[in-house]
């Protein structure tokens, strides 16, 4: 039996293809499957995050309209652009080794691409969604009391969703956001999927049954409330605070995240104006290293890293609200 390294005819080309596919995999799957993509920050509003943990986002203040004068013309006004410093909180990563023997066929290479796709869907994206919503919840909690006429008005604790009250709780908080942020539209309502049935079976609105061609078609799905989009989020991703596992320490080697023992309130619903929160992904990359490049094992190495956080500027926090299942601690 001849011995030596494997060099299948299609291996080099196939591996190059897989590298190309995986390079764009994280971004494509994130855009397609993440619950919070509408909060992604426009690159034009970011400065310096690619070069350091602390970057900047702008705040613009300007004067309003005045009266035009036939004598003096236009009244002079001022526009001020200031840049505020923000430090990103999360630098998360994972590396997998795939033994070279398992990669000796094109099927093996394709399976690696599929495995990385599943990693994104099952691990990376849920964590990013959870930490995004938790960051907003934390800023919502810290914002309480900032408006003297409505202390605690953007948050409620110890509410158990019920068909008779859940919808009005959401619309009440939506109204609070609309009044205090002076923005009528552009909100996303994130609803804990554990309470989706309660919302859709609400007794607070009238349901109609559409009968076509003698067939009753019942559709109780709620995709918008008062014109604002509803997004259903798995229960595990709807807590106000999380602890993240480092992947190294005993008991944390599996990585991932878990609701924080202190402050990890269960959330029934969150309301977020799409301009009030910005998810900044300063650096996200997926890499493949060949066995020749891998110094640790005779294996292909696949690495994923995401450096990110969600920023809620202080002057926009009135566009956010939360309804907590847990009691305030």
For the chain, what is the domain count? 1
Which residue has 């394709």 as its token pair? Answer: 110
**Considering the domain boundaries, does residue 2 fall inside one?**
no
> What is the reported pLDDT for 32?
87
d(CA 15, CA 203): 56
**Considering the domain boundaries, does residue 34 fall inside one?**
yes
> What is the reported pLDDT for 5?
41
Where helices occur in the chain by DSSP H, the ranges are 11-33, 106-119, 125-142, 166-181, 196-200
**Considering the domain boundaries, does residue 329 fall inside one?**
no
> What is the reported pLDDT for 228?
97
**Considering the domain boundaries, does residue 88 fall inside one?**
yes
What domain range is 320 assigned to?
11-324
User: From the first residue on, what is the mean pLDDT of each consecutive set of 10 residues in the chain (329 residues)?
Assistant: 41 62 72 91 77 78 91 92 87 87 62 82 95 95 60 82 97 95 96 97 80 65 94 97 96 96 96 94 83 84 89 90 91
Provide the 3-class DSSP secondary structure of residue 26: helix
**Considering the domain boundaries, does residue 4 fall inside one?**
no
Structural tokens at position 270: 């969150």
> What is the reported pLDDT for 321?
96
**DSSP letters spanning 72-124:** TBSPP--EEEEEEEEE--EEEEEEEEEEGGGGSSHHHHHHHHHHHHHHIIIII
> What is the reported pLDDT for 70?
94
Asked if 284 and 261 touch (Cβ cutoff 8 Å), the reply is no
> What is the reported pLDDT for 259?
97
Q: The CATH number of the domain where 37 resides is what?
A: 3.90.1690
> What is the reported pLDDT for 13?
53
**Considering the domain boundaries, does residue 67 fall inside one?**
yes
Question: Whole-model pTM?
Answer: 0.84
E-strand stretches of 193-249: 210-212, 215-217, 224-225, 228-233, 242-244
**Considering the domain boundaries, does residue 6 fall inside one?**
no
**Considering the domain boundaries, does residue 256 fall inside one?**
yes
């Amino acid at each position: 039996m001849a011995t030596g390294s494997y060099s299948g005819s299609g291996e080099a080309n196939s591996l190059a293809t897989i590298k190309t596919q995986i390079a764009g995999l994280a971004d494509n799957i994130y855009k397609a499957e993440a619950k919070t993509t509408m909060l992604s920050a426009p690159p034009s509003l970011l400065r310096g995050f690619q070069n350091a943990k602390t970057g900047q986002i702008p705040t613009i203040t300007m004067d309003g309209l005045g009266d035009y004068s036939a004598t003096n013309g236009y009244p002079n006004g001022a526009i001020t652009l200031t840049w505020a410093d923000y430090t990103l909180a999360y630098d998360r990563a994972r590396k997998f080794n795939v033994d070279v023997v398992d990669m000796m066929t094109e099927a093996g290479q394709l399976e690696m691409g599929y495995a990385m796709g599943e990693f994104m869907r099952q691990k990376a994206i849920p964590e990013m969604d959870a930490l995004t919503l938790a960051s907003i919840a934390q800023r919502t909690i810290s914002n309480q009391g900032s408006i003297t006429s409505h202390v605690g008005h953007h948050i409620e604790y110890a509410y158990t969703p019920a068909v008779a009250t859940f919808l009005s709780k959401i619309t009440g908080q939506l109204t609070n956001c609309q009044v205090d942020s002076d923005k009528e539209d552009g909100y996303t309502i994130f609803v804990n999927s554990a309470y989706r049935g309660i919302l859709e079976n609400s007794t607070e609105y009238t349901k109609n049954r559409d009968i076509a061609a003698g067939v009753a078609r019942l559709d109780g799905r709620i995709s918008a409330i008062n014109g604002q989009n509803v997004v259903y989020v798995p229960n595990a991703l709807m807590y106000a605070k999380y602890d993240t596992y480092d992947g190294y320490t005993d008991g944390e080697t599996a990585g991932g995240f878990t609701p924080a023992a202190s402050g990890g309130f269960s959330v029934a619903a969150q309301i977020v104006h799409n301009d009030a929160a910005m998810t900044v992904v300063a650096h996200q990359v997926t890499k493949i290293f060949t066995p020749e490049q891998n110094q640790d094992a005779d294996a292909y190495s696949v690495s994923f890293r995401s450096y990110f956080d969600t920023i809620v500027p202080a002057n926009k926090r009135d566009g956010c609200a939360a309804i907590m299942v847990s009691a305030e601690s």
